[in-house]
Amino acid sequence: MRILVCISNVPDTTTKVKFSTDNTSFDDGGVQWIINPWDELALTRAMELKEDASNGVSNVTVVTVGPASVEPTLRKALAIGADDAIRVDGSSNDAHYVASQIAAVAGKGDFGIILCGIESSDYNGSAVGGMLSEIMNVPSVSAISGLTMNGEEVTITRDIDGGKEEVSVPTPFVGIVQKGIAKEPRIAAMRGIMMARKKPLQVEAVVDAEALTEYQEFAMPEPKAPCKMVDADKVKELVHLLQNEAKVL
């Protein structure tokens, strides 16, 4: 079975977010780019599944939609262990446009499992995975915190409000993963980084697709009032403030 992992190229999660002077776009000056944390966990799990030969995973491919400048992030994914990478040469903040591009790639590849992170840490859309499944007309399972294989049979643990469910769906399907799917994201070793340079990275042209949304403007949250400090030996005063000033007790 072949696995496809969808990768989003996002600013490092420690980035101090800034926008252009007219507030219409993200200011990427000095930003470090990373694999979206949930996608990184999905990739880590895909590699674990491939390494256990009894699962019969023959290949792990990563795909992203973006300009040439996102290729270092795809190389990182190859260094972590993906066999090959595909970059769709387009650029959009709209999830429907992005999902349509990935669907075109996924439709050509005979993938049994397609994994996406549950959201990206930049625009927090939580949309591409679900849209992809609907465009491809295949089942989707969301909020996945565990995925195991027994031959071709896939068993999924998904989070529901107040608990967990164990489910299975026929392949191919889109798995939308969250924390828990892998314990920690895998870090590329030097050997992986060397090998990644030689692995195939294919560039595909965009297909026609509709954008259903666009960002008009961005804003920073209102600055908040400074923290009121209370002495460590005056805990009673804190309780008084919480009760009478904040009125939260």
Q: What distance in Å separates the CA atoms of residue 4 and residue 203, rounded to the nearest whole number? A: 16
- Least distance to other proteins from the beta carbon of 194, Å? 29
- Least distance to other proteins from the beta carbon of 68, Å? 24
Residue 164 engages other proteins in binding (rule: CB under 8 A): yes
- Across 191-217, b (16+ Cβ under 10 Å) vs e yields ebeeebeebebeebeeeebeeeeeeee
Q: What distance in Å separates the CA atoms of residue 65 and residue 83, rounded to the nearest whole number? A: 18
Q: Based on CB atoms, which residue is closest to other proteins, 50 or 96?
A: 96
131, 147, 177, 182: which one binds other proteins (CB under 8 A): 131
Q: What distance in Å separates the CA atoms of residue 204 and residue 210, rounded to the nearest whole number? A: 18
Q: Based on CB atoms, which residue is closest to other proteins, 87 or 96?
A: 96
Q: What distance in Å separates the CA atoms of residue 40 and residue 74, rounded to the nearest whole number? A: 11
Residue 235 engages other proteins in binding (rule: CB under 8 A): yes
29, 150, 162, 190: which one binds other proteins (CB under 8 A): 162
Q: Which region, judged by CB under 8 A, interacts with other proteins, from 27-35, 81-89, 166-174, 200-208?
A: 166-174
Q: Based on CB atoms, which residue is closest to other proteins, 69 or 243?
A: 243
Count residues binding other proteins (CB under 8 A).
Answer: 83
Q: Based on CB atoms, which residue is closest to other proteins, 45 or 96?
A: 96
Residue 229 engages other proteins in binding (rule: CB under 8 A): yes
Residue 230 engages other proteins in binding (rule: CB under 8 A): yes
Phi, psi of 51, rounded to the nearest 5 degrees: -70, -25
Q: Which region, judged by CB under 8 A, interacts with other proteins, from 48-56, 62-70, 191-199, 227-235?
A: 227-235
Can you list the positions of beta strands (E) in 1-98? 2-6, 9-11, 33-35, 59-65, 84-88
Q: Who contacts 154 (Cβ-Cβ below 8 Å, separation ≥6)?
A: 113, 147, 148, 168, 169, 171, 173
Mask of contacts with other proteins, 17-36, x by CB under 8 A? x-x-----------------
Peptide bond into 221 cis (omega under 30): no
In the numeric block, the tokens 């027994």 are attached to: 150
Residue list 73-102, contact with other proteins (CB under 8 A):
95-96, 99
